[in-house]
């Protein structure tokens, strides 16, 4: 063996060992998961690991006996996410929406920019785009641990239908699940400042892990003027090389020029409206003009 071959074979065995043992190497993860093929390879390795270790695969998950979503089957969503990077047609029951909304009004959240220095605050302390009258604010986020205090969200995390979609899309039972919720707030700040305070308003794709899928639920009504989520259909598995090797953020022009504006989906929906998404697609938030938007996400890894 030449010294180069030795180098490559040792790098490869390190990668497979890390993947199999679950040891974390973020740089490797970001490199591998950038590519559709890298994510598929990871899914394949995980699925093999499950076969060898069957009883353990979902031991860490608490799966409810009954889904809160009636009359829907997981594979319709899975196929759609594969084809387009997104799947619609799932709605939260009204009592759950109320419970999550109430929780968001009374649980601590945190801001970005100078608002971050204030630590935790309640959303009722934000008025006209300012926290406590001093700090401009465009995004307020809830941590996974804060959201663990909301029973409705915990029920969703254990929902068998959502877990089945995640399992069938990823090819293995999720090894980690995170809750995330955010308010995007009406703001009259200049666009550049909004981008600094709420970075997801810039087109981007996420590389949260070797593979991942998400469910999003609007908890407030969302129309074109109240901060709809926007994404580019099919971009989860179709990216030009120059975007794959560039930072994850792109300008609107670059995205529109490559994919075509007609492929862009502006996602509007009433409170309770849900959709699955592959986070490796190009997507972005928008700043609401008329009313604040509350969005819940469950992220499967
Ligand atoms: O708030 C949104 O609509 C998008 C958020 C986002 O890009 C993310 O959570 O990765
Ligand atoms: Fe994102």
Structural domains in the chain (count): 1
- With CA atoms as reference, report the closest residue to 218 among 104, 106, 299, 296: 296
- High-pLDDT (> 90) share of the chain, %: 86
Query: Which helix (H) or strand (E) segment is 142 a member of?
Result: strand 139-142
7 has pLDDT over 70: no
253 has pLDDT over 50: yes
Distance CA 281, CA 207 (A): 10
What are the residue ranges of helices labelled H in 67-223? 74-84, 94-106, 144-147, 151-157, 160-170, 191-197
Ligand nearest to the CA of 205: 2
Say which range, 5-14, 194-203, 234-243, has the weakest mean pLDDT.
Answer: 5-14
Does a structural domain hold residue 17? Answer: no
Distance CA 78, CA 252 (A): 28
Distance CA 296, CA 217 (A): 5
285 lines ligand 1 (CB under 6 A): yes
Q: Are 153 and 179 in contact (CB under 8 A)?
A: yes
Please state the pTM of the whole predicted model: 0.91
| CATH code of the domain in which 141 resides | 2.60.120.620
Distance CA 193, CA 190 (A): 5
Give 147: exposed, middle or buried? Use CB within 10 Å, 0-12, 13-18, 19+: buried
For ligand 1, the distance from its centroid to the CA atom of residue 200, given in whole angstroms, is 6
Does a structural domain hold residue 220? Answer: yes
Query: Which helix (H) or strand (E) segment is 17 a member of?
Result: helix 3-21
87 lines ligand 1 (CB under 6 A): no
200 lines ligand 1 (CB under 6 A): yes
Protein residue closest via CA to atom 6 of ligand 1: 200
Q: Are 41 and 172 in contact (CB under 8 A)?
A: no
**What is the span of the domain harbouring residue 249?**
62-300
Does a structural domain hold residue 11? Answer: no
Query: Which helix (H) or strand (E) segment is 32 a member of?
Result: helix 26-33
For ligand 2, the distance from its centroid to the CA atom of residue 266, given in whole angstroms, is 15
218: tokens are 């609007």
Q: Are 180 and 147 in contact (CB under 8 A)?
A: yes
Helix, coil or strand: residue 164: helix
DSSP conformation letters of 34-81: TSHHHHHHHHHHHHHHHHHTGGGTTTT----SS-SS-S--HHHHHHHH
Does a structural domain hold residue 98? Answer: yes
Say which residue, 25 or 92, is predicted with more confidence.
92
Lookup result for tokens 């490869």: 12
293 lines ligand 1 (CB under 6 A): no
206 lines ligand 1 (CB under 6 A): yes
Query: Which helix (H) or strand (E) segment is 91 a member of?
Result: strand 86-91
Distance CA 146, CA 118 (A): 17
Does a structural domain hold residue 215? Answer: yes
Does a structural domain hold residue 1? Answer: no
> CB-hemisphere CA count at 13 Å for 154?
9
pLDDT in tens, 170-199: 999 999 999 999 999 998 899 999 999 999
Mean of the per-residue pLDDT values for the chain? 92
Question: Confidence class of residue 23 from pLDDT cuts 50, 70 and 90?
Answer: low
239 lines ligand 1 (CB under 6 A): no
Distance CA 84, CA 125 (A): 39
187: tokens are 């703001």
Mean pLDDT of the 144-169 span: 98
160 lines ligand 1 (CB under 6 A): no
Distance CA 147, CA 204 (A): 25
pLDDT of residue 187: 86
Does a structural domain hold residue 151? Answer: yes
Does a structural domain hold residue 57? Answer: no
For ligand 1, the distance from its centroid to the CA atom of residue 164, given in whole angstroms, is 23
For ligand 1, the distance from its centroid to the CA atom of residue 157, given in whole angstroms, is 19
């Amino acid at each position: 063996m030449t010294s180069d071959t030795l180098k490559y074979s040792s790098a490869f065995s390190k990668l497979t060992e890390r993947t199999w043992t679950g040891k974390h190497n973020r740089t490797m993860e970001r490199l591998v998961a950038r590519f559709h093929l890298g994510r598929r390879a990871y899914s394949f390795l995980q699925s093999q690991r499950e076969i060898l270790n069957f009883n353990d695969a979902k031991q860490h998950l608490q799966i409810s006996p009954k889904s809160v979503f009636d009359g829907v089957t997981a594979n319709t969503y899975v196929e759609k996410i594969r084809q387009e990077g997104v799947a619609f047609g799932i709605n939260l029951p009204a009592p759950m929406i109320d419970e999550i909304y109430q929780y968001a009004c009374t649980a601590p959240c945190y801001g970005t920019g100078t608002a971050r220095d204030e630590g935790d605050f309640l959303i009722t302390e934000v008025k006209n785009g300012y926290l406590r009258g001093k700090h401009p604010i465009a995004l307020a986020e809830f941590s996974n641990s804060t959201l663990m205090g909301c029973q409705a969200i915990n029920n969703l995390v254990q929902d068998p239908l959502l877990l089945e979609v995640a399992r069938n899309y990823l090819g293995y039972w999720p090894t980690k699940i995170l809750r995330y919720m955010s308010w995007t707030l009406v703001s009259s700040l200049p666009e550049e400042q909004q981008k600094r305070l709420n970075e997801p308003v810039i087109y981007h794709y996420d590389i949260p892990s070797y593979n991942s899928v998400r469910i999003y639920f609007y908890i407030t009504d969302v129309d074109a003027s109240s901060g709809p989520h926007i994404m580019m259909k099919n971009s989860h598995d179709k990216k030009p090389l120059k975007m794959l090797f560039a930072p994850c953020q792109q300008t609107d022009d670059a995205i529109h020029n490559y994919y075509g504006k007609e492929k862009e989906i502006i996602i509007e929906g009433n409170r309770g409206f849900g959709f699955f998404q592959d986070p490796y697609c190009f997507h972005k938030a928008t700043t609401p003009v008329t009313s604040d938007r509350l969005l819940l996400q469950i992220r499967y890894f």
